[in-house]
């Protein structure tokens, strides 16, 4: 379906056209008409399906159809500052030909950023995108103009609950009008998300966009290794002259810091990004990476969702992701648009069961790559799950 067939405001269609969009994605086609009808919605859709525009477009449309007033019309709650900034940037592009105003509200800045946020929140920007802690800090001071707010959006709700924000979300909602439209978007739909939906949504429509398989353009491979072989293997891989942009995902910030130190000692120009960096440092590192001034970025899962970086040549999972959906989010950073890409996953002995679960979700085994001879022989890939018996062992080989 074309965007021009969805009944969106002409000024909004100008912004869509200027950004090069013509056809709606499945999640946009399924949700935009429902949201424009004023219904609550619970939608399951992963990063990369176009879900951000799926809620931004109808919200902007609704504001354009309403009288000009100085109050906050929509509040979007997100788990991380990076996602808040990205949504604000996309909103700015889509609303370029309109009067709609927005502001990203998040911690980590200086006093002047807090005052700028206070001004917008008290005078009434149309759309506020914010992280839970920062939003509560402002709401507690009683100047935030949410009395006439008519739309609440929770984006990446599953990630927010994983990060322990459930109480913060309910605290924020306690400040909002009870009569409002509420939209909940989540990559996964576990029991705790359904419980949250039941608490804050009213007779919602449900949209499920099945988790997609990884892009076929991604060359996937797994290296079955001992922990002591991981750093030598990363160093070996990063010597490849075809690599212009690489993300290495680590499961913990301590792991990311240690890997960054080791790679810098070996002469590799790398930087890390994680929650211990202040906002200015994170923006600087991410900006240099996006602008191709930094080849290799070591990241925690803060970057696996919602960060739009184009033309990534290689994603390395230094640690196996916790589940198949996180795996797809991580490797989905590469082979975007028309480009190709590769995704390598390091699997130690303890992580083999997690890798097996990922392979079951994918529906196919991830090819096991041969470790370079100078790094040595790795362990046997022999995953088994409790109660399932031992699976047949086999040595890593090219397949």
What does the pLDDT look like over 198-217, one tens digit per residue? 999 999 999 987 666 677 78
Give 168's contacts (C-beta < 8 A, 6+ positions apart): 132, 133, 136
pLDDT for position 67: 85
pLDDT above 70 as % of the chain: 90
Lowest mean pLDDT among 183-192, 219-228, 389-398: 389-398
Output the furthest CA–CA distance in the chain (Å, rounded). 70
pLDDT for position 399: 34
- State the Cα–Cα distance between residues 391 and 356, nearest whole angstrom: 10
pLDDT for position 386: 44
- State the Cα–Cα distance between residues 242 and 238, nearest whole angstrom: 9
Lowest mean pLDDT among 39-48, 111-120, 258-267, 371-380: 39-48
**In terms of pLDDT, which residue wins out, 308 or 161?**
161
pLDDT for position 389: 39
Residue 308 CA, chain-centre distance (Å), reads: 9
Q: What average pLDDT score do residues 260-287 get? A: 87
- State the Cα–Cα distance between residues 296 and 49, nearest whole angstrom: 26
pLDDT for position 155: 94
pLDDT above 90 as % of the chain: 56
- State the Cα–Cα distance between residues 23 and 36, nearest whole angstrom: 18
**Residue (of 107, 175, 103, 179) closest to 139 by Cα position:** 175
Question: How many other C-beta atoms can be found within 10 angstroms of the C-beta atom of residue 360?
Answer: 12
pLDDT for position 325: 67
Q: Tokens in use for 296?
A: 């290799």
pLDDT for position 311: 79
**What is the chain's mean pLDDT, rounded?**
87
pLDDT for position 280: 81
**In terms of pLDDT, which residue wins out, 276 or 210?**
276
> Does residue 48 carry a pLDDT above 80?
no
Does the predicted model carry a pTM greater than 0.85? Answer: no
Domain 218-375, CATH homologous superfamily name and number = P-loop containing nucleotide triphosphate hydrolases (3.40.50.300)
Q: What average pLDDT score do residues 362-370 get? A: 91
Give ∠ CA 373-377-382 in degrees, rounded to 5.
140
**Residue (of 265, 264, 318, 274) closest to 295 by Cα position:** 264
- State the Cα–Cα distance between residues 36 and 95, nearest whole angstrom: 17
- The CA-atom distances, in angstroms, between 81 and each of 92, 274, 351 are 16, 12, 30
Reported as a single tens digit per residue, the pLDDT across 313-350 is: 899 999 998 777 678 778 877 866 556 789 999 999 99
Query: What would the DSSP string read from start to end of 38-107?
Result: T--EEEE--TTSSHHHHHHHHHHHHHHTSPP-SS--EEEE-S-HHHHHHHHHHHHHHTTTS---EEEE-S
Q: Where in the chain do CATH 3.40.50.300 domains reside?
A: 3-208, 218-375
Selected from 3.30.70.2860, 3.40.50.1820, 3.40.50.300, 3.40.30.10, the CATH number assigned to the domain covering 3-208 reads: 3.40.50.300
- State the Cα–Cα distance between residues 187 and 260, nearest whole angstrom: 30
Q: Tokens in use for 199?
A: 């608490």
- State the Cα–Cα distance between residues 347 and 128, nearest whole angstrom: 41
Q: Tokens in use for 26?
A: 């499945």
Q: What average pLDDT score do residues 245-271 get? A: 91
Q: Tokens in use for 145?
A: 């103009």
Let me know if 308 is exposed, middle or buried by CB neighbors in 10 A (0-12, 13-18, 19+).
middle
Q: What average pLDDT score do residues 107-111 get? A: 75
Reported as a single tens digit per residue, the pLDDT across 146-203 is: 999 999 999 999 889 988 999 999 999 999 999 999 999 987 788 889 999 999 999 9
pLDDT for position 369: 96
Q: What average pLDDT score do residues 356-379 get? A: 91
pLDDT for position 258: 93
> Predicted confidence band at 391 (pLDDT cuts at 50, 70, 90)?
very low
> Does residue 249 carry a pLDDT above 50?
yes
Q: What average pLDDT score do residues 270-294 get? A: 85
pLDDT for position 190: 80
> Does residue 30 carry a pLDDT above 50?
yes
Most confident of 50-64, 279-293, 384-398: 50-64
Give 154's contacts (C-beta < 8 A, 6+ positions apart): 77, 160, 169, 182, 183, 184, 185, 186, 196, 200
Collapsed DSSP state (helix, strand, coil) of residue 344: strand
């Amino acid at each position: 379906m074309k965007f021009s067939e969805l009944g969106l405001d002409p000024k909004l269609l100008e912004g869509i056209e200027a950004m090069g969009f013509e056809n709606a994605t499945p999640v946009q086609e399924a949700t935009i008409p429902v949201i424009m009808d004023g219904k609550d919605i619970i939608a399951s859709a992963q990063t990369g399906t176009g879900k951000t525009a799926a809620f931004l477009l109808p919200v902007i449309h609704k504001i354009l159809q309403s009288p000009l007033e100085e109050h906050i019309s929509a509040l979007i709650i997100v788990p991380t500052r990076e996602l808040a900034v990205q949504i604000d940037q996309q909103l700015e592009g889509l609303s370029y030909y309109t009067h709609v105003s927005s502001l990203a509200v998040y911690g980590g800045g200086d006093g002047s950023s807090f005052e700028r946020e206070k001004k917008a929140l008290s005078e009434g920007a149309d759309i506020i995108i914010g992280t839970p802690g920062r939003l509560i800090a402002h709401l507690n001071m009683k100047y935030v103009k949410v009395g006439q707010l008519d739309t609440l959006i929770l984006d990446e709700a599953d990630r927010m609950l994983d990060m322990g924000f459930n109480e913060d979300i309910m605290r924020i909602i306690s400040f909002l009008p009870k009569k409002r439209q509420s939209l909940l978007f989540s990559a996964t739909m576990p029991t705790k998300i359904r419980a949250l939906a039941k608490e804050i949504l009213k007779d919602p429509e449900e949209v499920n966009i099945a988790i997609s398989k990884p892009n076929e353009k991604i060359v996937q491979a797994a290296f079955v290794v001992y922990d002591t072989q991981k750093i030598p293997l990363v160093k070996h891989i990063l010597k490849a002259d075809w690599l212009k942009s690489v993300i290495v995902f680590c499961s913990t910030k301590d792991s990311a810091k240690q890997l960054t130190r080791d790679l810098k000692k070996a002469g590799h120009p790398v930087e890390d990004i994680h929650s211990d960096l202040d906002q200015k440092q994170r923006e600087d590192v991410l900006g240099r990476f996006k602008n191709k001034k930094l080849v290799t970025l070591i990241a925690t899962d803060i970057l696996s969702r919602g960060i739009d970086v184009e033309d990534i040549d290689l994603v390395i999972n230094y640690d196996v992701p916790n589940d198949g959906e996180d795996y797809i989010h991580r490797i989905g950073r590469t082979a975007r648009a028309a480009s190709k890409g590769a995704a390598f996953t390091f699997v130690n002995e303890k992580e083999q069961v997690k890798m097996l679960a990922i392979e079951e979700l994918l529906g196919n085994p991830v090819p096991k790559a041969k470790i370079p001879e100078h790094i040595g022989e790795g362990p046997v890939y022999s995953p088994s799950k409790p109660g399932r018996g031992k699976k047949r062992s086999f040595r890593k080989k090219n397949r």
